[in-house]
Amino acid sequence: MEAAVYCDAEVARAAERSFACAIDFVWPLVGFGLFLAGFYWVAGSVQLTTKTVPWFAALFVFLMLLYRAAFCFAEIDTPGTRAAGLRLLTFEGRIPGRRARIQRMLGGLVSVLSLGIGLAWGLLDEEHLTWHDHISRTFPAARE
């Protein structure tokens, strides 16, 4: 993959990106916890069996995707990105639109589903860009 950041903004470090990811993981986790609390309140118990665990896991993945999609369609940075002091930019230095954000979300799925190889790519890439950075032609950079 060709490194192609054409603007002066510096690609965020792995630690900053990890912090943003952790914050963006917590919000859907809180939503999932609230769902389980409501489920417990209505049903009286939450049974974790070989039949129910895949459904709960699927619900959590759905909540994660819904969370990410909401910010893609709103065309704004996630709370994790903002908390880490980052902003999303295109390789040309512009604020990305909805299409680029959706491509980034889908590219992130590819990065994760490849057993994390797409994320690890950022450690070896010349400009520290991951697969989803390359796929969407966007990257997180420090706010000015």
At 110-134, the pLDDT tens digits run 999 999 999 999 999 889 999 999 9
Q: How many residues does the chain have?
A: 144
pLDDT score for 7? 81
Domain boundaries, the chain: 14-142
Residue the block writes with tokens 């697969």: 131
pLDDT score for 2? 53
Q: Are 118 and 1 in contact (CB under 8 A)?
A: no
Helix (H, G, I), strand (E, B) or coil at 86: strand
Show pLDDT as tens, one digit a residue, over the chain (144 residues).
Answer: 455 677 888 999 999 999 999 999 999 999 999 999 998 999 888 888 999 999 999 999 999 999 999 999 999 999 999 999 999 999 999 999 999 999 999 999 999 999 999 999 999 988 999 999 999 999 999 987
Alpha helices in the chain (DSSP H): 14-43, 53-74, 79-83, 98-113, 117-124, 131-136
pLDDT score for 99? 96
Helix (H, G, I), strand (E, B) or coil at 92: coil
pLDDT score for 61? 94
Helix (H, G, I), strand (E, B) or coil at 39: helix
Backbone angles phi and psi of 112, in degrees to 5: -80, -45
pLDDT score for 3? 54
* Distances 98 to 45, 74, 80, 91, 143 between C-alpha atoms, Å: 41, 8, 18, 15, 20
* Distances 64 to 44, 67, 92, 96, 108 between C-alpha atoms, Å: 26, 5, 29, 21, 12
